[in-house]
Structure 1
């Protein structure tokens, strides 16, 4: 049986490279390549199910704030498609969201072509695959400082748009204490080489480390 695949990748050169690799090294029939899940769904609507891909190889990060990609991903999986996330894995929060929504494979863009093709074959055979590089990237704690529970909670609230006064009240501490927490958070991130001097820096860091939800 000819096994069919589709590629979703926003960057043209990377998309073309993945298509070539799946065809030449994987022996797959790549039926469609596009820059978004919406583009794939639009293509599928005009074709008989017998021509739909068995496998989707996709870069799905960052997740769109409205959550449309996660709903589309769930719909594709209900239709029986297997999904392999091929990603730079920059945001742990988004990685967790995609894994919870359901993917069959997780491959880092730092993995070799051999690893990617082997992972594709295993996913098509019904296995769940997470490469060592992908697992390391998804859980990489080398740039996460040891925040206390109160500091983590404050950072999450702050990244979600709470003022220092409102966050302090939520935590049951004085605003001056909350400001001290914030100062320590910045110092701890600086100690592991992470830029966290501004509010924007802190918000991006909280999103990256899975402490806050970008949709919030």
Structure 2
């Protein structure tokens, strides 16, 4: 029997955006079934939208604080969230990840990143597109090592997927490359006086530096 198709519900008040996302999902291989919630948050909670594997959440619907509260409520209820937005501010991206979003994709990043983010989120995995990588490495705190985007992506994938093999499959790279990135991260943390010789130490550092959230760790498979 074929695997059940991934379903996603999109909450966005721009019909053109929704039409584009619907096309990307329909032409993906395998296709993703998309439910249009329009601008009504209630449609994310009930009917087909309530049963969708992933919520594609636009931050432009309401006032910022109200949107953050709704994002937190969705995450707390167990929904898997991909934020899809025009807002490219680093602080907004980091805030959404802190609240439990599994991915933050800007509308200028294209279908390859949105589709990949939806697929990852459906499995409970985090996904790190370029915009989110940039936001996570922008911090100037001297106590935090400057990690490369690939290193952050390897860490997040490893923590969220329970094994390096699954992390490698998720990122489309080899297990050896994942090992290399993780060892570089250990060296960088040691260089700022925050050694992380074990996986649990790295998890603690990543939580301290907001590279991953507790909700993502709770989705580990």
Q: Which band: TM-score by shorter chain?
A: 0.5 to 0.7
Query: Are the counterparts in 2 of residues 7 and 19 from structure 1 also a CA contact under 8 Å?
Result: no
Q: 1:130 is paired with a residue of what secondary structure?
A: coil
- Counterpart CA distance in 1 for 2:16 and 2:109 is 17
Q: Relative to structure 1, is the Cα distance of residues 113 and 92 closer, same or farther in structure 2, using a 3 angstrom cutoff? A: same
Q: Which residue of the other structure, out of 30, 34, 41, is the alignment partner of 2:34?
A: 30
1:1-216 equivalence runs, <5 A: 1-25=4-28, 27-35=31-39, 39-40=40-41, 42-44=42-44, 46-47=46-47, 52-61=51-60, 64-65=63-64, 67-136=65-134
Give 1:73 shift.
Answer: 1.4
Q: Relative to structure 1, is the Cα distance of residues 48 and 128 closer, same or farther in structure 2, using a 3 angstrom cutoff? A: closer
Runs of 4+ in 1 over 4 A off after TM superposition: 137-141
Q: Relative to structure 1, is the Cα distance of residues 96 and 52 closer, same or farther in structure 2, using a 3 angstrom cutoff? A: same
Q: 2:21 is paired with a residue of what secondary structure?
A: helix
Q: Relative to structure 1, is the Cα distance of residues 129 and 87 closer, same or farther in structure 2, using a 3 angstrom cutoff? A: same
Higher CA-based Rg: 1
Give 1:9 shift.
Answer: 2.2
Q: 1:120 is paired with a residue of what secondary structure?
A: helix
**TM-score (norm: length of structure 1):** 0.52
Q: Relative to structure 1, is the Cα distance of residues 46 and 136 closer, same or farther in structure 2, using a 3 angstrom cutoff? A: closer
Number of aligned residues? 136
Give 1:134 shift.
Answer: 3.5
Name the residue aligned to 1:156: none
- Counterpart CA distance in 2 for 1:102 and 1:63 is 19
Name the residue aligned to 1:214: none
Structure 1 gap segments, 5+ residues each: 142-216
Q: 2:24 is paired with a residue of what secondary structure?
A: helix
Q: 1:129 is paired with a residue of what secondary structure?
A: coil
Query: Are the counterparts in 1 of residues 12 and 61 from structure 2 also a CA contact under 8 Å?
Result: no
**TM-score (norm: length of structure 2):** 0.51
Q: Relative to structure 1, is the Cα distance of residues 136 and 29 closer, same or farther in structure 2, using a 3 angstrom cutoff? A: same
Give 1:83 shift.
Answer: 0.6
Structure 2 gap segments, 5+ residues each: 140-221
